[in-house]
């Protein structure tokens, strides 16, 4: 799964160069603790080109009870059959720019946070879906290396494949299954990231 991520302004500036229109996205703002329920930049596609706008992380529908948590992750396996996702993965695809993400390793009765980033230092682009100003990140089984921390990880697109993901002529599930996960690196970070109110660069620093 993916429960937190970071998006630096350097990532936003480079992502903005890929779109024709920016809708209220502040390019001069780092965010080191993006959490479900918050509003973050998302790439979408229209007939006149790609655009970037702010959306809420997590899908919530009127038919859900108040106790039902919003859907912030969608498993690639079976996504085309789930009532909440099957139409969106066909017609409403999203790409979420990211500088790195957090995952937690269970050790006895503790959960230890780790920060994942691209080993090549390149930006990360999550494959996702969107609906009515909300978005959800698609996940898959973790690679052997990453499963040391958690058994799931986000589906990550190479920048060169973003347009192909937005091409509705491509079957999204087949396309994403054909994308090889990039090589990532990870290190342990402070449990301060567990607090959504914390948001500074120190969160992604390794613990010595």
What is the secondary structure of 28-72 as a DSSP string? T--EEEE-TTSEEEEEEEETTEEEEEEEEESB--TTS-TTSPPB-
* Rg of the chain taking only CA atoms, in angstroms: 16
The predicted structure's pLDDT at residue 69: 74
Number of neighbouring beta carbons within 10 Å of residue 38: 16
Residues 6+ apart with CB under 8 A from 109: none
Q: How far apart are CA 97 and CA 112, in angstroms?
A: 24
Kindly list the structural domains of the chain, giving each domain's residue range(s) and its CATH number in brackets, ordered by start: 4-101+124-184 (3.90.1680.10)
- Transcribe 38-49 into DSSP letters: SEEEEEEEETTE
Q: Are 188 and 149 in contact (CB under 8 A)?
A: no
The pLDDT assigned to 65 comes to 61
Can you give the pLDDT at residue 67? Answer: 64
Question: What is the pLDDT at residue 63?
Answer: 63
Type and span of the H or E element at 178:
none
Q: How far is CA 131 from CA 55, 69, 80, in A?
A: 9, 16, 15
Is there a contact between 80 and 173 (Cβ–Cβ < 8 Å)? Answer: yes
Pairing state between β 134-141 and 49-57 = parallel
Low-confidence spans in the chain with pLDDT less than 50: none
What does the pLDDT look like over 77-132, one tens digit per residue? 999 999 889 999 999 999 999 999 999 999 888 999 999 999 999 999 999 999 99
């Amino acid at each position: 799964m993916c429960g937190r991520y970071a998006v630096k302004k350097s990532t936003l500036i480079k992502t903005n160069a890929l779109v024709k229109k920016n809708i209220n996205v502040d390019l001069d703002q780092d965010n080191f603790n993006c959490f479900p329920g918050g509003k973050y930049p998302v790439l979408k596609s229209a007939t006149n080109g790609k655009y970037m706008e702010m959306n809420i992380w997590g899908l919530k529908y009127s038919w859900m009870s108040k106790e039902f948590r919003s859907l912030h992750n969608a498993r690639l396996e079976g996504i085309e059959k789930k009532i909440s996702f099957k139409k969106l993965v066909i017609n409403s695809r999203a790409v979420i720019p990211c500088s790195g993400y957090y995952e937690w390793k269970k050790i006895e009765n503790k959960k230890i946070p780790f920060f994942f980033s691209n080993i090549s230092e390149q930006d990360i682009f999550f494959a996702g879906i969107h609906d009515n100003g909300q978005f959800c990140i698609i996940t898959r089984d973790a690679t052997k290396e990453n499963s040391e921390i958690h058994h799931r990880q986000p589906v990550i697109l190479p920048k060169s494949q973003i347009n192909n993901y937005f091409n509705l002529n491509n079957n999204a599930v087949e396309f994403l299954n054909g994308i090889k996960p990039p090589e990532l690196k990870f290190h342990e970070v402070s449990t301060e990231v567990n607090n959504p109110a914390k948001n500074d660069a120190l969160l992604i620093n390794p613990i010595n």
